[in-house]
């Protein structure tokens, strides 16, 4: 009789384990088939009876529906039944990140890592938490750990160079952007970001060939990334290869006419940068040409150490000059509330080398204005 009772108990336990395994498998399959609403509708009310991993999959359905409160509730229930599953801690931490509860997320990520140090996702998520709390060095450490794991992720490689850039470590940032370019998917936005920053840093390092290579690849992959066109134009101007810049200038004008440019590019684009003494000069060209009216076409912004414009030197369309048979543009300057004009004139197809030399002459104060006025017309 005792043997018979023991046999029945074993059978009951086996049936119970089988039932629990079955519901877990059922939920796993439903989750993989993206049946999130069905999972919630059919199982959310029964979770108290379910094993830890089954509760986890119901929680994942809420996760995919961006219901973070229920995600955390169910992950805590799953952990309560089995505190050895790192995935439950990880998903809980991810929801806490979305809810901007970063200290709690950090603790959950750390527990997941303690249970499974080999998962790159856990380290990358921890890096996100540290990054959002401004702990850049700890974020770097977490992202670096993620890159050392077997399961390859784009995000750590994308974030490491951006943190170095935020910390002002330009050499390390550039090196990390090159690594990012090699590691992330070419179809991802992170690859475009890497190319753009390589082009930017190499330009600032005056390594124009490397900058041109990166930016040329970028605009080939992303032909509507018009901001990168301006950077490539600046590279050609730095190399004094003005003819190579023309096709990209034409594309910008076409995009302007189509009304697809955004931000500052809706009105003008930067085509050259250079340094005069301790100031960086940013040369912009405006798209609009108000025939018959005074307008500024090429504007050289003289910036201070804070990056803000202190004054401008510009080519000005002069209707009076044109009526009298003079040049299309004259050189002007707006400084300290005074508008000045100089004796220098330029036609539409002017030589940029001549214009730049003339701007430098004005900056050096080697020439006096031919006329000045405190009444500045806002352009």
Nearest to 157 by CA among 130, 127, 113: 127
Q: Which domain holds residue 164?
A: 157-262
265 DSSP assignment: G
Q: Are residues 325 and 228 in the same domain?
A: no
Would you state the structure tokens that stand for residue 53, as one six-digit string? 């991993």
Local confidence pLDDT in tens for the 379 residues of the chain = 444 444 334 434 333 444 457 888 988 998 899 999 999 999 989 888 899 999 999 999 999 999 999 999 999 999 999 999 999 999 999 999 999 999 999 999 999 999 999 999 999 999 999 999 999 999 999 999 999 998 889 999 999 999 999 999 999 999 999 999 999 999 999 999 999 999 999 999 999 999 999 999 999 999 999 999 999 999 999 999 999 999 999 999 999 999 999 999 999 999 999 999 989 999 999 998 877 778 899 999 999 888 899 999 999 987 776 666 778 899 999 999 999 999 898 988 889 999 999 999 999 999 998 888 885 454 5
Domain boundary among 262, 293, 322: 262
Q: Is 307 left (phi over 0), alpha (psi -120 to 50) or beta?
A: left
**Residue 4: alpha-carbon gap to chain centroid:** 69
State how far the alpha carbon of 260 is from the alpha carbons of 52, 226, 255, 263, 320, in Å: 52, 10, 6, 10, 34
302/310 Cα distance (integer angstroms): 6
Q: Are residues 257 and 353 in the same domain?
A: no
162/141 Cα distance (integer angstroms): 14
pLDDT reported for residue 5: 42
State how far the alpha carbon of 124 is from the alpha carbons of 45, 223, 268, in Å: 33, 31, 39
11 in a domain, yes or no? no
**Strand pairing report for 338-346 and 329-335:** antiparallel
277/364 Cα distance (integer angstroms): 10
Listed in order, strand segments (DSSP E) in the chain are 268-276, 279-286, 295-303, 309-317, 329-335, 338-346, 371-373
pLDDT reported for residue 288: 87
Structurally, the chain folds into a number of domains equal to 2
The length of the chain, given as a count of residues: 379
Would you state the structure tokens that stand for residue 182, as one six-digit string? 């090699």
181/234 Cα distance (integer angstroms): 22
Q: Is 61 left (phi over 0), alpha (psi -120 to 50) or beta?
A: alpha
115 in a domain, yes or no? no
Q: Is the CB of residue 196 less than 8 Å from the CB of residue 228?
A: yes
Which residues, in sequence order, are bridge partners of residue 265? none
163 in a domain, yes or no? yes
Task: Spell out the residues 6+ positions from residue 224 whose beta carbon is closer than 8 angstroms to its own.
Answer: 260
Q: Are residues 255 and 276 in the same domain?
A: no
C-beta atoms surrounding 327 within 10 Å: 16
Domain boundary among 242, 262, 282: 262
Q: Is the CB of residue 302 less than 8 Å from the CB of residue 309?
A: yes
Domain boundary among 262, 283, 314: 262
166 in a domain, yes or no? yes
pLDDT reported for residue 114: 98
Residue in the block written with tokens 């994942």: 60
pLDDT reported for residue 321: 67
157/124 Cα distance (integer angstroms): 10
Task: Spell out the residues 6+ positions from residue 245 whose beta carbon is closer than 8 angstroms to its own.
Answer: 232, 233, 236, 237, 271
Q: For the whole model, what pTM was predicted? A: 0.85
104 in a domain, yes or no? no
97/94 Cα distance (integer angstroms): 5
278/215 Cα distance (integer angstroms): 27
pLDDT reported for residue 15: 38
Q: Are residues 237 and 276 in the same domain?
A: no
């Amino acid at each position: 009789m005792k043997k018979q009772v023991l046999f029945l108990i074993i059978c009951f336990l086996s049936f119970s384990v089988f039932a629990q395994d079955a519901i877990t498998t059922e939920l796993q399959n439903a989750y993989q088939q993206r049946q999130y609403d069905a999972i919630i509708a059919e199982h959310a009310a029964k979770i108290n009876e379910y094993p830890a991993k089954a509760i986890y999959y119901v929680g994942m359905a809420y996760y995919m529906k961006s219901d973070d409160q229920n995600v955390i509730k169910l992950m805590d229930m799953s952990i309560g039944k089995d505190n050895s599953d790192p995935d439950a801690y990880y998903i809980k931490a991810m929801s806490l990140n979305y809810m901007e509860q970063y200290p709690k997320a950090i603790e959950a990520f750390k527990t997941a890592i303690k249970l499974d140090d080999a998962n790159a996702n856990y380290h990358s998520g921890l890096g996100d938490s540290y990054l959002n709390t401004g702990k850049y060095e700890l974020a770097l450490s977490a992202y670096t750990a993620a890159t050392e794991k077997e399961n390859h992720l784009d995000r750590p490689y994308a974030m490491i160079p951006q943190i170095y850039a935020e910390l002002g470590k330009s050499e390390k940032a550039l090196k990390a952007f090159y690594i990012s370019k090699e590691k992330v998917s070419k179809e991802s936005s992170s690859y475009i970001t890497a190319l753009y920053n390589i082009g930017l840093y190499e330009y600032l390092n005056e390594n124009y060939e490397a900058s041109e290579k990166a930016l040329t690849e970028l605009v080939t992959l992303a032909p509507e990334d018009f901001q990168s066109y301006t950077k490539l134009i600046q590279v050609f101007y730095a190399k004094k290869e003005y003819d190579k810049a023309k096709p990209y200038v034409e594309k910008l004008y076409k995009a302007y006419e189509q009304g697809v440019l955004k931000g500052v590019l809706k009105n003008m684009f930067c085509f050259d940068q250079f340094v005069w003494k301790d100031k960086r000069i940013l040369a912009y060209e405006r798209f609009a040409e108000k025939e018959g009216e005074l307008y500024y076409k090429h504007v050289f912004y003289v910036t201070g150490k804070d990056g803000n414009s202190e004054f401008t030197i510009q080519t000005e369309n002069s209707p009076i000059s044109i009526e009298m048979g003079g040049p299309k543009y004259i050189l002007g300057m707006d400084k300290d509330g005074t508008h000045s004009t100089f004796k220098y004139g330029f036609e539409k197809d002017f030589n940029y080398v001549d214009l730049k030399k003339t701007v430098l002459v004005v900056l050096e104060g080697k020439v006096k204005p031919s006329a000045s006025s405190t009444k500045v017309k806002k352009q």
